Amino acid sequence: MPLIETQHPNAVFARQLYDGIGNALRSDQMIEIEAGRITHIRPATAQDARDRNIRGFDLVAPGFIDIQINGAADTQFNFEPDALALGRIAKGARQGGTAYIMPTFITAAGQDYQRAISAVQDARMRGVSGILGVHLEGPFLSHNKPGIHDSRAIRVLDDADLNALTSTDAGAVLLTVAPENLPQGALARLNAAGVRVFAGHTNATGDQIDCAEKHGLVGVTHLFNAMTQMTVREPGVVGATFASRALFAGIIADGHHVDWRNVATAARLMPDRLCLVTDAMLTLAGTFTHFELHGEHITLAQGKLTNAEGRLAGAHISMIESVRNMIAHAGCSVVQALQMATVNPAKALGMGGKVGALHAGAAATLTCLDPNLEVSAVMIDGTYPDVNGV
């Protein structure tokens, strides 16, 4: 991603604009900015931009939102749950166009997840760019669907956990659980506290997902992976998600986790609820090609992370690659693919209108692309955070 001449511009010119509100690209738009927020979006010309020395981009969209990212830039959140590490992960994610991340802390022993919550609180207090909140993927999962998670640390949520999770101040909180294993009343209590609960690494039936949705379940984590599948008389988690009118779903569009035909089916059935996620590990925008996780050796080869048995261990893909894949392999238009990287994840977090859309009063957080859908720049709150290494 090239450096931008001005770190704090007062406007950005978009030759094409996806604002996250309409269903079409708008041509030749000037985004006026003051104090980190958008004051006005108006028609303009390239000459207007040149006259004011305003930087123009071929395509401007709301800043991409990755609600599931474990690491980047040789940094894994579970290995280094602190504010400095989060800054590195966020910067690595920006190389792929991501403005906001939900750093994801996977299953660990006991209440070790509280270290992740504290790290996010500290990072947000320090003003680390792009940290929207925290995603806790476990440890309240199913032993039947552990994936690469440490099955020894998977356990049932208890009252101490509920007290910890419902009293945090870490921004948005997304919690992935196996809903069939939650104690009675836990889901409703989490929902009342504003925790966004997703089902993942779950052996739930379709009926159990329907019941959980009625009590506050809002989505599923990495659709198709580590969950029950749709069969002729049992919809499972996948079928219940398709049948729902409200459940969101993250999906890993890397060609390894989910067959492209299944990705395309999900995109057709739930275009307003499907969220692109990277599930990226420390290899993204990094130099490492192997690392240890729960005593297992994980290797990167041909864009895929696997353990010695060939089991997938997270992903090695950026958000912009995911967007391009949805267009190339899932039949999505540019607008549809961008929606899955912006509007949909914002709504999944209960933040629709606050992030993921561009309008007067919204944060000036943009992902700027070239004609080949390569990342030209990422702006967060009116600032290009990577200029001069900031």
Secondary structure in 3-state letters for 126-180: HCCCCECEEEEECCCCCCCCCCCCCHHHCCCCCHHHHHHHCCCCCCEEEEEECHH
Helix (H, G, I), strand (E, B) or coil at 374: coil
End-to-end CA distance of the chain: 14
- Tell the burial category of 371 from Cβ atoms under 10 Å away from its Cβ (0-12, 13-18, 19+): exposed
Q: How far apart are CA 124 and CA 149, in angstroms?
A: 27
**Could you tell me the two tokens for 318?**
């950026």
Which residue is catalytic, options 210, 279, 381, 386?
A: 279
How many alpha carbons lie under 13 Å from residue 372 in its C-beta half-sphere?
2
**Could you tell me the two tokens for 198?**
């997703």
**169 a catalytic residue:** no
Residue carrying structure tokens 């057709």: 268
Q: Assign 3-state DSSP to the chain and report helix, strand, coil percentages, each to 5.
A: 25, 25, 45
Residue partners of 372: CB distance under 8 A and separation at least 6: none
Which residues are identified as catalytic? Answer: 279
